[in-house]
Amino acid sequence: MPALAHAFVRQALRALAGGPLRGYVTREDAVPLVRGRWRIGDQLTRRGGQPLPVEVSFDDYAENQVLLTAATRLLRLPGVPADVLGALRRLVRVLGGVSVIPVGAPVPAVRLDRRNARYASALALGALVLSGSSVEQRAGSVVASGFLVDMWSVSEDFVNAALREAFKPYGGELVAQYASTLDIDGTVKIAPDLVWLVDGDVRACIDVKYKVEKHGQYPNADLYQMAAYCRMFGLGEGHLVYAAGSAEARLIDLVDGPLVRLYGLDLRRPTPAVVGQLPSVGPGESKR
């Protein structure tokens, strides 16, 4: 759904580049102030002479209603990136004065023609938002914007988010891409994928690798890297997480060095099961 928010706001702002469309749909509503035409008959029969709310009938923009309502709902969606949230707020400002479709109310029917053709993609994605749906990469009837994904970054972000939740009971802070150096002069830069800080002290180091960990074919470069991290931070253990590999976490005891735990994730399993395969690192983590 957050990915859909990115696609939607891009298409919606493109549709509104020339200004909001003026296509009307008549609405009747009870509102706290007079707007449009006052339905006096309904006011007398439904409200018994009470002044508020006011029974009115007014014209609204059907296409813009769909875009505004979708943007409003996406603003409440967890996980939407900050830049997309900013674009959604800008979209709401552009559509100031347009009415939001009430929850449970039918979505106004919009007939596409040359007048509103520029809205077509945004309306299709907006309809998905209003129905609580999204898009998938398979044959279907919905046309959506394409995008490329750096899977190594997705894998690292997934492990980061999952471990951040798992570490909450232990306190401290899980920091991504922790900047440090190996040498005294500070010229050899290092940035472990994840470190766990407790009172400013590094208590655990985790590196995420988007590749297969093969039993019996140990990735020496990864072990060298983790050994250097552990030596720098004075850790007795380090953790390597691979996108695939042995289902059982394994331990490599380096000579005059740290213990390195290797984890292979089975990404074909349901998300909760994948999370369960991640490293278990608690406050008892020791240093050497």
pTM value?
Answer: 0.51
pLDDT tens profile 135-192: 776 777 766 666 677 888 888 888 888 888 888 888 888 898 999 988 888 889 989 9
pLDDT of residue 205: 93
Q: Which residues partner with 262 through β-bridges?
A: 240, 250
**Which among 196, 179, 223 is positioned nearest to 279, based on CA atoms?**
196
Domain residue extents for the chain:
2-130, 151-276
**pLDDT tens-place string over residues 98-107:** 888 888 888 8
Judge contact between 122 and 87, C-beta under 8 A. no
pLDDT at 109: 79
Segments of the chain with pLDDT less than 70: 22-60, 137, 142-147, 213-219, 245-249, 279-288
Out of 3.30.70, 3.40.1350, 3.40.1710, 3.30.2310, the CATH code matching 151-276 is 3.40.1350
What is the spatial distance between Cα 213 and Cα 203, in angstroms, rounded to a whole number? 24
